[in-house]
């Protein structure tokens, strides 16, 4: 029963994560740092946005080696499902009209993104490649999630901007707030894993 709960939380968390990314894309007020990178890479690779997300996830997984992180079911599911959920959500979501609606979609996307991240990490079945990098650095440095996550987001943003990704007000808002949202969401979704409390 516990495993069923973990799997359910993992999959809805990943689906929500992809949906939240699509909301931010449709808002068109600035992408989150990783998506600035994905947008810059996608035309160079000749892939859809979502498939670029999946490919980058697989590449980031290689960075786990020096951090001695171990992948799990959640890691593999993250690489396969998030980008797929983004592409499907983009097909279903209309483009919002008017600044107020776009701003609302952006705000909702950022909040849902942080909640979704806390949900699938809290399931305890292995973080996604990007979040595994975050949690691995937390363990190695002793720094809290909110600082490590923010540092990673800012570094990725710089690389994505150099590749031609779109940066806007939403990018800055995401980079400065997502670490705090994940930091406070993790305790709500952690399932019988007290050893991970230090990460928060």
List, for residues 13-70, the tens digit of each pLDDT value: 999 999 999 999 999 999 988 999 999 999 999 999 999 999 999 999 888 877 777 8
144 vs 164: CA distance, rounded Å: 31
3-state secondary structure of 71: coil
**pTM of the predicted model, to two decimals?**
0.84
Among 18, 32, 67, smallest CA distance to 168 is for: 32
Q: Is 68 left (phi over 0), alpha (psi -120 to 50) or beta?
A: left
135 vs 148: CA distance, rounded Å: 8
Give me the count of residues in the chain: 200
21 vs 141: CA distance, rounded Å: 29
């Amino acid at each position: 029963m516990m495993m069923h709960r973990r799997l359910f939380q993992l999959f809805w968390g990943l689906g929500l994560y992809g949906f939240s990314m699509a909301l931010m894309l449709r808002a068109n007020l600035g992408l989150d740092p990783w998506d600035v990178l994905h947008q810059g890479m996608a035309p160079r690779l000749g892939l859809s946005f979502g498939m670029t997300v999946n490919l980058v996830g697989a590449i980031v997984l290689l960075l786990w080696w020096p951090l001695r992180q171990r992948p799990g079911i959640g890691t593999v599911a993250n690489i396969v499902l998030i980008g797929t959920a983004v592409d499907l959500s983009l097909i279903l979501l209309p483009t919002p009209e008017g600044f107020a609606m776009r701003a609302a979609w952006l705000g909702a996307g950022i909040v849902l993104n942080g909640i979704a991240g806390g949900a699938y990490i809290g399931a305890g079945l292995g973080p996604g490649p990007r979040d595994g990098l975050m949690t691995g650095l937390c363990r190695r440095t002793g720094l809290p999630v909110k600082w490590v996550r923010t540092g990673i987001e800012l570094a990725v943003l710089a690389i994505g901007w150099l590749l031609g990704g779109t940066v806007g007000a939403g990018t800055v808002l995401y980079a400065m707030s997502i670490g705090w949202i994940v930091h406070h969401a993790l305790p709500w979704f952690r399932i019988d894993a007290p050893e991970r409390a230090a990460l928060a």
